[in-house]
Amino acid sequence: MIHREGYQSLFIALIILGLPYVALDQWVQIEWLTQAYLILALVLYILVLQFFRNPPRTTVAEPGDVIAPVDGNVVLIEEVLETECFKDQRKMISIFMSPLNVHVNRVPVAGKVAYAKYHPGKYLVAWHPKSSTENERSTVVLDHPHTGPVLFRQIAGALARRICLYSQPGQEYSAGDEFGFIKFGSRMDIYLPMDAEIVAKIGDKPKGGETLIARIPKRA
């Protein structure tokens, strides 16, 4: 299944890769060169196509379970000061997505959107320490009686040039529901309460919408 965000990009890629082939076939007419270009164009198109794939996922989550919002590599787990919304200490899990990963973004917990904001910004490499505050990004906070507020942030990388955020305040989600998409390499940060139990480890490769990465005790 192809994600809807890919339709325009795939059409543009088809035109860009197809025009040189037509020129080679009609005017240059060097068979080996035309065939070599066709193979190269097909490989490049398949790479773009796989970036926009949207495989079905089945989310199984108990109250308090935090599910990976994206595919990728867990690159950072640390305690940080969250300054945009909470202005207090939180446990943060960062998942880096390469261009080869599925880039559908899913909510890690159930809840109602209490805050959703897009921020324009720079395009530093996604693992740069300042990327979470200076890059193009979006911030979403979901609130639920069991978990309390949970913040997660889409962060564009050096290749990612467009963050797609579908969330609006008041919108309700179940864990694993799609809330956005990031094009071509990026990062997702999840900010959890300090009493959350982190299940994920650095180096893990979670599957978005399916892999358990943390548990949050029920709020008093």
Give me the active site residues, please. Answer: 186
Cα-based distances in Å from 70 to 18, 95, 106:
32, 7, 6
Tokens encoding 54 = 């949207």
Distance of CA 151 to the CA centre of its chain: 14
Determine how many CB atoms are found less than 10 A away from the CB of residue 81.
Answer: 10
Determine how many CB atoms are found less than 10 A away from the CB of residue 170.
Answer: 9
- Cβ neighbourhood burial of 118 (10 Å; 0-12, 13-18, 19+): middle
